[in-house]
């Protein structure tokens, strides 16, 4: 690191859990963020500010007025723009040294597998089960940790599926094909700061994946009730009948 970087990241370097070695790991790290909405905006912003060297941003959607209540990487002037472009601009303003790769399309099939294999950590900030299931399987096949978060109404949840470990459960251990009729923000609403809470926690777990600091939220599901301001943690175990992680890679 040069003098400017030492100053920029000095508050990280002061942490014994991170120190110089951890910050160097962040600078060398590559993270794929899938979804640049309520969750993905704070994820991308905090990863950029923290000095993650390369951010890969994926979203096929355009900024809409209804997004601005919670999607803080976008503003009025971004309405109609691809979310990947708006989020990339915000990340670049926070930290001009980071490298950015944009996927202004839905990642599927071989392109999804290639995108996952090109990074060290994947953050699932998507809003549908089809994408979540596909990401989970791609990360499992590639052995790349997956930081998964969700928020609806006043409730949020978060877990890490660390496929570098043999004992990690996966997203399909928790959710199944019949769960795709779940609620969504456009029909049920979502509390604006809640997505920031969950997204910030996802960014925290991604930084921990890259640096080895602390204990990952692997094998645990964090559940947030923002209206009651209650946090609960449930234990998760691999499902021996899981159609994904019970099969050889």
How many structural domains compose the chain?
A: 1
Q: Domain holding 120: CATH number?
A: 3.40.50.720
Return the DSSP state at 76. G
* Residue span of the structural domain in which 61 resides: 3-235
pLDDT at residue number 183: 62
Sign, CA torsion 208/212/217/218: positive
The CA distance from 7 to 128, in Å, is: 40
Whether residue 152 lies inside any domain: the answer is yes
pLDDT confidence of 28, banded at 50, 70, 90? very high
Minimal CA–CA distance to 245: which of 193, 196, 172? 172
Average pLDDT over residues 186-205: 93
Whether residue 34 lies inside any domain: the answer is yes
Whether residue 247 lies inside any domain: the answer is no
pLDDT confidence of 188, banded at 50, 70, 90? confident
Residues 168, 136: contact at Cβ < 8 Å? Answer: no
The CA distance from 174 to 210, in Å, is: 25
Whether residue 248 lies inside any domain: the answer is no
The CA distance from 67 to 246, in Å, is: 38
pLDDT in tens, 34-57: 999 999 999 999 999 999 999 999
pLDDT at residue number 182: 55
Whether residue 69 lies inside any domain: the answer is yes
pLDDT confidence of 247, banded at 50, 70, 90? confident
The CA distance from 150 to 202, in Å, is: 10
Burial 35-65 (b: 16+ CB within 10 A, else e): bbbbbbbbbbbbbbebbbbbbbbbbeebbee
pLDDT in tens, 134-166: 999 999 999 999 999 999 999 999 999 999 998
Whether residue 98 lies inside any domain: the answer is yes
pLDDT in tens, 99-118: 999 999 999 999 999 999 99
pLDDT at residue number 187: 74
Whether residue 240 lies inside any domain: the answer is no
Whether residue 243 lies inside any domain: the answer is no
Tokens at residue 83, please?
Answer: 């979310």
3-state SS, residue 55: strand
pLDDT at residue number 115: 97
């Amino acid at each position: 690191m040069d003098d400017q970087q030492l100053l920029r990241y000095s508050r990280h370097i002061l942490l014994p859990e991170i120190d110089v070695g951890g910050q160097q790991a962040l600078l060398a790290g590559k993270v794929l963020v899938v979804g640049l909405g309520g969750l993905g905006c704070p994820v991308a912003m905090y990863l950029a500010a923290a000095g993650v060297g390369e951010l890969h941003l994926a979203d096929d959607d355009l900024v809409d007025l209804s997004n601005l209540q919670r999607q803080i990487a976008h503003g009025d002037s971004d309405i109609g723009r691809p979310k990947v472009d708006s989020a990339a601009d915000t990340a670049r303003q926070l930290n001009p040294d980071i490298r950015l790769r944009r996927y202004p399309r839905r990642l599927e099939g071989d392109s999804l597998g290639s995108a996952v294999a090109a990074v060290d950590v994947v953050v699932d900030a998507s809003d549908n089960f089809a994408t979540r299931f596909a990401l989970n399987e791609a990360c499992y096949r590639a052995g790349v940790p997956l930081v998964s978060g969700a928020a609806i109404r006043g409730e949020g949840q978060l877990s890490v599926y660390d496929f570098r470990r043999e004992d990690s459960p996966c997203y399909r251990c928790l959710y199944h094909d019949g769960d795709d009729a779940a609620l969504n923000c456009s029909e049920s609403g979502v509390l604006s700061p809640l997505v920031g809470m969950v997204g910030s926690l996802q960014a925290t777990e991604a930084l921990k994946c890259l640096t080895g600091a602390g204990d990952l939220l692997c094998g645990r599901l964090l559940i947030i009730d923002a209206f009651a301001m209650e946090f609960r943690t449930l234990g998760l175990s691999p499902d021996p009948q899981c159609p994904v992680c019970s099969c050889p890679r």
